[in-house]
Structure 1
């Protein structure tokens, strides 16, 4: 454990959310002090304005467009839009100025609206999950909406690759014969989006079979980092996949590789670390004994003396940089000692620097977080224009997309106004899949329930 434990407390406490930052967190964010000064020192965009249509509350000057809603017919004619909108990414379209949105559907075996089974794109006919793809014009008009892959299960998040594909992750360990499935599940699949990138509906088995959440790819080394959102104790692991053909391009991951799990010496549970800025050198990576988990889930397998490091609710994952070096960031949404964690928190963001084998706690939330103020249970996460993070909230009470700035402040950018409960006992679906267009002018985000995909534009600070 490092002796460096510098801690900065932001002004988030003023809005009822307790949050602490590592002193070096500014390296994570793309914004500059000059941009911050030009904006008058403001990190947020002002209070949220109630939406008269009851869909999405945004700050003044921002507007949204509904791109897609579950149950509506897809333009491809392949069937209705599936539900349970989850992880998503925005990639360049098939023509200049266009955008392709690839969107996961976290459908379980009993989902009311499955991803339509399309010939040549379906893995397991009994799998209800998968991905859909929206092709957008430069003005965010939907030009096409089609199935990207079908017959998978519980497609939660994933991540884009440097060669322009999407890796979609199954958050389940169900085998053939369970819940009616005809094939094993718990894999990663590659979804092709460009001409010549034909989706092959077969799993990338060497990348492991477990309750996948998200991935991030090191663009220089080709290493793929993977998070595991296991539901029960002992909790999930943080993995890396060393492909036999690093940086090989489309379908190169099918050539196989080595799956390893992270071990932080002396730290069996990441929730025990509560002080931002704490870092650990000498992180180790242990080969996974049985990546296919034929008999035993990976997190329960024997890794030898010392074991591996676990964490509750490992979710969002993305590739960034720190002081000019590549780094991968990943999220633990929360930890609860009552469920088996070593300590309690309302969210962590971790940074791993491969070149230094160093793991650092960059951000921790709570315990003063309030369920009706932004800043609880971070899930999907991405870099925001002008610096900072944009985070999807997946907790109790109201649900927000909130900004997390390099200056130690938290602000609400959007609030889900779709009440699926009652006036007396309101309920709001989580946000998921926050991402920005390649030109950084539009934010796209999903409401999980009812499944809705929004495009949000406004006076972004770049």
Structure 2
């Protein structure tokens, strides 16, 4: 029933991707306030793919099996993605492919591919000698002409590259959501982050950034002021990490890995709210960061050791995005209803410096879902030109009905799109000029370019 579709959320004055948030007391929004005209009702897609409001349209710009410029095939399981400006009309899209050893047949290098595996700069192989199919592909897209100029393999030999994040210095951080150890199945340890430069055609040097930790990585976001990288972890008992680089923009040179904890221990060490309202919606809580050691974590226990040191637990940290002074990240199964949360972190003005002890950063539970019809398992997220969050759903039910959800700066929710396939939406990101929303369909892999009247939002 409509009057039971509601969210709990809390808002204070803060910047949200260039738009100021209205100062509001924490509130529980019922159906009357949650329902919005937004961009209008969704209209059925004649192609049966993605329903959008009137005036919006999409174009499929890449799909599974397309032959790329390097002779390889577009792989399956398209997941996280980032967009970079190349010039006044062209952008580069770097797209993750969440593939494991069992997916070689739908990877970029098929068993009868054009080149032998040993000729490629790949991170790792399976026992048979085949290259592991996980990695990234890069698309060069002409916004004005609405067409792909080129697409090619840009990272290969990794496992389950789920999400990642863009950097201010022009690269994509591709994150492995897998902690396989070297042995009979694979030759090298996994669970790392790899950096893929945008200005390089072809394969990136598959160098694992080991100082950034070995764990079930999900996504990354960089604060452009400091160069600090914030990392999520897709586990039910995950942590939120930050990486303090020894040299800004030079992640391979190393640095320190830390995990977020509450400054006041009375607030507890669990944000999931599975056993009650341990973390209230809307309240800001001062944080501290605990140093982590043994970050190569051969026993996959980094999160457990971090929690033992006082770090806060989160329910499956997923997409994370930095926008004008704040970071937003999804916790897919957080909340009493286990339908998802969105957290907001406001860094200290002295973030990563000794002075942050006296002026700490703060964490807020921004949104917590109580009804699947409004928000169900938020995953990747981005910020629209009007300052709204755009969130990809990734629910796991017998009948999958995933959406693109919008969250306004004052916390109201609306539906931007509905997927009509039994799979998930992923990798949402906007072109730098704000004209186009790119999004992936996970499997069979497709990448869409969505255009429409983004400025016509109605409350």
1: CA distance between counterparts of 2:243 and 2:437? 30
2:390 matched residue in structure 1: 390
TM superposition shift of 1:125: 2.4
Q: Match for 2:192 among 184, 187, 192?
A: 187
Q: Structure 1 length as normaliser, TM-score? A: 0.83
1:161 matched residue in structure 2: 167
2: CA distance between counterparts of 1:47 and 1:333? 26
TM superposition shift of 1:114: 1.6
Q: Match for 2:256 among 242, 255, 258?
A: 258
Secondary structure of 2:15's counterpart equals helix
2:75 matched residue in structure 1: 82
1: CA distance between counterparts of 2:305 and 2:100? 26
1:422 matched residue in structure 2: none
Secondary structure of 1:136's counterpart equals strand
Q: Match for 1:128 among 123, 133, 142?
A: 133
2: CA distance between counterparts of 1:131 and 1:196? 12
Secondary structure of 1:440's counterpart equals coil
2: CA distance between counterparts of 1:63 and 1:102? 22
Cα 1:357/1:47, change in 2 over 3 Å: same
CA RMSD of aligned residues (A): 2.5
* Contact preservation (8 Å) 2:345, 2:364: no
1:349 matched residue in structure 2: 342
* Contact preservation (8 Å) 1:399, 1:415: yes
Q: 4+ residue stretches of structure 1 with deviation over 6 A? A: none
Q: What whole-Å deviation, never above 9, does each CA across 1:168-206 have from its counterpart, x for those lacking one?
A: 00001111126x211110000000111599721110000
* Contact preservation (8 Å) 2:40, 2:54: yes
2: CA distance between counterparts of 1:192 and 1:119? 21
Greater shift in the superposed pair: 109-118 or 307-316: 109-118
Q: What whole-Å deviation, never above 9, does each CA across 1:366-391 have from its counterpart, x for those lacking one?
A: 32233xxx421111111112221111
Cα 1:70/1:23, change in 2 over 3 Å: same
1:45 matched residue in structure 2: 39
* Contact preservation (8 Å) 1:286, 1:303: no
2:32 matched residue in structure 1: none
2: CA distance between counterparts of 1:215 and 1:166? 9
- Structure 1 residue runs of 5 or longer lacking an equivalent are 1-12, 35-40, 337-342, 419-427
TM superposition shift of 1:289: 1.7
1:417 matched residue in structure 2: 420
Q: Structure 2 length as normaliser, TM-score? A: 0.83
Q: What does 1:108-123 align with in structure 2 at a 5 Å threshold?
A: 108-111=100-103, 112-116=105-109, 119-123=119-123
TM superposition shift of 1:346: 1.7
Residue correspondences, number: 410
Q: What does 1:327-342 align with in structure 2 at a 5 Å threshold?
A: 327-335=326-334
* Contact preservation (8 Å) 1:162, 1:219: yes
